[in-house]
Amino acid sequence: MNQQKIFVQMALHSWNTQLARAEKIFSSFSEAAFYLPVAPGKNRVIYLYGHLAAYHDALKETLGIGKRTEPEFAAIFLQNPDDSDAVMPSITELKKYWELVHSELNELFANTSEDDWFKRHNAMTDEDFEKDPSRNRLSVLLNRANHIAYHIGQVILVNPGNS
């Protein structure tokens, strides 16, 4: 087996592990728990759930493998901080969005060749990529897996048994 294939498998394993952890945690919350902040004055669970889903939706464009499913969610979950007065999609709508985005990503990832993972991503220039080819699509995937882990660390502060 070539090294590129091994690296891709390792990155996809990391992504899938963190995603499965997030899904397990989010599925343990009641609807009321989604509206709890992770700490006083901090983001609510619903915001972090939507934030991860919107970030992953945007990942399709960053990697150059697809288009966003719900580009309007970027304004709510990526471009603005959590606001308890903001109109949020329902939990049911967000769960469907989460499932759709990750189903699409699974299919797109399965159809991405090992060589394509080592190409430039769309958030950088050809010149920057030439200077540092380690900033490739695969590195973006690894960074997004770490991003999931970071927010899991926040979300588990909420005890769903208290809601």
Q: CA-to-CA distance for 16 and 31, rounded, in angstroms?
A: 25
Would you say residue 163 has pLDDT above 60?
no
pLDDT at 160: 61
Q: Which of 41-45, 99-103, 155-159 has the lowest mean pLDDT?
A: 155-159
pLDDT in tens, 73-121: 999 999 999 999 989 999 999 999 999 999 999 999 999 999 999 999 9
Domains annotated on the chain, with CATH: 3-162 (1.20.120.450)
Q: CA-to-CA distance for 14 and 60, rounded, in angstroms?
A: 18
